[in-house]
Amino acid sequence: MPLPACPPPMRLLIIAFTLIVFCLAFMHLTVVAPLSLLKGVDHLTATHEALAGFKTTLSSLQATGAPPDPHPSSITTANNNKNSNDNNNENEYSKPRVAVTPQEHWFYNRKPPPSPSSPPNPNSNSNSNTNAPPESKSSKPNRKKQNRNDPVTAPQDNRSDSVEQPQTKQNSVLVWTTMNINRNEPCDVPCEYTSDKALRKSADASVYELRGYRAPYGDDKMSILLQMEGEHYYPIRMDGYDVENTYRWSSPIKKPYFEWVHYAGERDIQNPSVEPNAIDGVSFLARNCGSRNDREGVVRQLMAAGIRVDAMSSCLHNHPKPANDDKVTIMRGYKFHAAFENGNVRDYVTEKVYLALAAGTVPIYLGAPNINEFVPAGSIINVADFDSVEALAQHLKDSMDDDILYNTYHAWRYKPLPEWFVEKFNFTHSTTECRTCRYVRAKQLGLQWDEVSQRARTAQVIW
């Protein structure tokens, strides 16, 4: 049955209602929704800014350890003041030349084991310092009030995980020496050198730098013989001494002539080669004309074979020395240098060859039979490799006439140094004085000494 027709007024109402709904929907899509979206973006931006501010505050707390400051300028000022105070109050013993781990620094500054003959102290309390507050950074060691006979103190443990903490304020190793050295030596072990005879008996060790034998006083805590001169002139006698500190590679404390700590900049052995217009000849600098290997005789034979040799020191002097009396500068003017030792002794490799390498010239070497263990391959001309001085002179002439042949002795300068060379001298990034203090401290702690690394060692780790 068909539906009755809708009267005209009702149709008008339906159309009007439909138009109103359509207009409202259109307004929502074009006005209300965009405004809500913009408001949401504003909320997200504000949230991001709040998180960024929190992150900045957290970073400042980690850097300064101070309470949060709502003003960024205050945080910056606090950081600047802290850095300034840290620099002014830095411990004079906390500047090692070589990077040191906290565990290593603590290990060297442990309390030495008590002597077996010393009875225990009934009044001592091993836990008395367990909860002591950490030492202020602003405090400095008072050297004048320090008692040299006090034992080395162990660091306090202030952490809940019972891991030992390093401390920078420790009794230093005091070394008395016959040399004029009076300073706090930069080292990973607190190290002090003195030549004051009044402190010799109380010093932890005594270093005697000698040319020729002389017995130590006999009442030193540890006596160390230091000798740099070759044993072919001054035999090395250890009678009465506890430790050898010489150029010999068998020495417990080694003292080679080449040390990284001294060969940098102008003395970098890998400096560029000399200029192409350098003199086609040999420089020779020596005062001792009574050598044990007749080096002066080799020089005379080279001259007789037509090689220009400018002897600018007292031995065979035939050429004036330049106004600039710097050996490296003098050598730099020649294509070759006669790096002749005064004797052919094993391990006795002096600065003569290393200064020539630093000057960029080619050393003609006469001396230690194991020289190849001390210089990069292809860096020198070894007199021992030739059947005669005449054959050596001919090779020098060929090298002067042939740039390609001559430059083969400089090829090593533009490559990484051999790994064996770097490892052999790796311990020389610290000074001999520092290594001596390491040795003394190791013996105080009853530790083994590793001669390769020149550090104390345990069964697991070399420190």
pLDDT tens by residue, 348-387: 999 999 999 999 999 999 999 999 999 999 999 999 999 9
Res 142: pLDDT: 43
Res 28: pLDDT: 64
Answer with the residue of higher pLDDT: 263 or 23.
263
Q: Locate tokens 């300073």: which residue?
A: 183
DSSP per position, 156-205: P--STT-PPPP-S--PPEEEEESSS--EEE-SSS-EEEE--GGGTTTSSE
Of 263, 264, 273, 299, residue with least CA distance to 284: 299
Strand order across the 381-382 sheet:
309-311, 279-284, 334-340, 362-366, 381-382
pLDDT mean over 238-244: 97
User: Where does residue 208 rank: exposed (0-12), middle (13-18), buried (19+ CB within 10 A)?
Assistant: buried
Q: Are 372 and 355 in contact (CB under 8 A)?
A: no
Residue 163: pLDDT over 60: no
pLDDT-derived band of residue 62, with 50, 70 and 90 as boundaries? low
User: Where does residue 115 rank: exposed (0-12), middle (13-18), buried (19+ CB within 10 A)?
Assistant: exposed
The whole-chain average pLDDT of the chain stands at: 79
Instruction: For residue 402, give the amino acid letter.
Output: D
- Mean pLDDT lowest among 1-5, 171-175, 260-264, 289-293: 1-5
Tell me the chain's radius of gyration from C-alpha atoms.
38
pLDDT tens by residue, 178-236: 999 999 999 999 999 999 999 999 999 999 999 989 999 999 999 999 999 999 999 99
Q: How far apart are CA 359 and CA 340, in angstroms?
A: 16
End-to-end Cα spacing for the chain? 107
**Summary count for the chain: helices (H), strands (E):** 11, 13
pLDDT-derived band of residue 291, with 50, 70 and 90 as boundaries? very high
Q: Phi, psi (5° rounding) for residue 337?
A: -135, 135
pLDDT tens by residue, 293-329: 999 999 999 999 999 999 999 999 999 999 888 999 9
Helix (H, G, I), strand (E, B) or coil at 282: strand
Q: Are 253 and 243 in contact (CB under 8 A)?
A: yes
Residue 412 per-residue DSSP state = G
Domains of the chain: 173-256+426-457 (no CATH), 273-419 (3.40.50.11660)
Res 6: pLDDT: 55
How many CB atoms lie under 10 A from the CB of residue 307?
22
User: Where does residue 301 rank: exposed (0-12), middle (13-18), buried (19+ CB within 10 A)?
Assistant: middle
For 54, the token pair is: 């929190």
DSSP per position, 87-108: HHT--TT---SS---HHHHHHH
Q: How far apart are CA 299 and CA 294, in angstroms?
A: 9
Q: How far apart are CA 300 and CA 280, in angstroms?
A: 17
- Mean pLDDT lowest among 11-20, 43-52, 104-113, 377-386: 104-113
Answer with the residue of higher pLDDT: 310 or 65.
310
Q: How far apart are CA 316 and CA 283, in angstroms?
A: 12
pLDDT mean over 147-155: 40
Residue 31 per-residue DSSP state = I
